[in-house]
Chains A and B, each alone.
Chain A
């Protein structure tokens, strides 16, 4: 037996059905809305509408085309697309370099094009060797270098005291000039930072760390067996 056929749900069939109550319930007076409710509501809605900022109204705009997707969805997709495109364009182009290349003589154009891709002259081979490097070269590295003698060595930078011949001097000067003129491109959030400089935040952390280690060292020294009262 379904619910609709159940005698409990059939109001006319049940003997205990309160017929008088039902009659009075249906005859109860109807309460009406307050006077001028429509006008009051219209004013209230106008107030709410005017209170909304223009951008909120624009975002709430829902076109009749495009499956009725709200306006802000189109805005979000367009923003993401523009952001990706802007990042791509920023990475793909370098106006400053392009301008320099355009204004440079023809023989330097290729160099400008590749200046961000390669460092002219490796620091290990071009830069002045330190004392330890020289020791290494004289000692442990010597046999290894023997095996790679056929490899073209990088042009060394001559020290001021060392004199070279005229042809070698011009090549060395060119390499030196290229090295000095090399300015690595620093872009994005790191722009304006000096390359190779330790940022302030790291330097401060380092100084705090050093101070801590000095303090702990001092404590350890105080606890040496001769100073320990135990």
Chain B
């Protein structure tokens, strides 16, 4: 069945190349996998669209994982450079998103092991520096004093995240912040689903222990 799907994807991509339907509007309607196949056939615009799609979620994941804005930006750049250079290694049997997350996760781990963390950028500082950064204000959270409280809580959560072991942190960030499915996390980490669930659960318990003054 996946082979049939792959064949149809390949055919669709070939038809698109032959028909020269490679303008930005038509490419933006394509799936990640179709864009990746187009990119493997040297359609650079497909890569640009993939970057636009994944840059923000990946940045968020890497920042929550490393806790450093500069490191996160470097890792993000390295991730896309690696995707660019190793595009031929991608096989259509996997999802593009999990493949890119795997690369980003591996690079983030390497960055952490290198001990590059010079300082920790505070979330509040980052808000001032980066204009694109916006706090998602929902309708049930309209009060400014509540927002101020929340930002303190988020800071505490981020600090607690950096204190728990890396394997738990990765699982919790992917599940509870990035909101990926267990199957996707299992594919990204290369672990069985049972192990992933166990890590998420243990990570949450450790976080709650560290933040018990807030949540008790």
Contacts and interface: CB of A to CB of B under 8 A. Distances in A.
A101 interface: no
Interface residues of B, number: 57
A219 interface: no
Interface string B55-77: 11111100110000100110011
A31 B52 contact: no
A41 interface: yes
Contacts of A20: 215
Interface stretch (B1-9, B22-30, B106-114, B204-212): B204-212
A31 B154 contact: no
B43 interface: no
Interface in A197-222: none
Interface in A1-27: 2-4, 6, 8-9, 11, 14, 16-18, 20-22, 24-27
B20 interface: no
Contacts of A178: none
A181 to B, nearest CB: 64
B59 A33 contact: yes
B134 A17 contact: no
A45 B81 contact: yes
Q: B158, B172, B179, B204: which has the most chain A beta carbons within 10 Å?
A: B204
A44 B81 contact: yes
B137 to A, nearest CB: 10
B88 interface: yes
Interface in B153-202: 153-154, 157-158, 172, 176-177, 179, 182, 192-194, 197-198, 200-201
A35 B201 contact: no
Nearest to A62: B88
Interface in A52-91: 62, 64, 68
B133 interface: yes
Contacts of A48: 81, 85
Given A21-B208, A29-B135, A62-B88, A38 B60 contact: no
Contact of A38 (B41, B51, B194): B51
Contacts of A22: 176, 204
Interface of A: 2-4, 6, 8-9, 11, 14, 16-18, 20-22, 24-35, 37-38, 40-42, 44-45, 48, 62, 64, 68
Interface of B: 41, 48, 51-52, 55-60, 63-64, 69, 72-73, 76-77, 80-81, 84-85, 88, 123, 126-127, 130-136, 138, 141, 150, 153-154, 157-158, 172, 176-177, 179, 182, 192-194, 197-198, 200-201, 204-205, 207-208, 211, 215
24 contacts: A3-B192, A3-B194, A4-B197, A6-B194, A18-B205, A21-B208, A21-B215, A24-B157, A26-B176, A28-B158, A30-B60, A31-B56, A31-B59, A32-B60, A32-B132, A37-B51, A37-B76, A37-B77, A38-B52, A40-B77, A42-B48, A44-B81, A45-B81, A62-B88
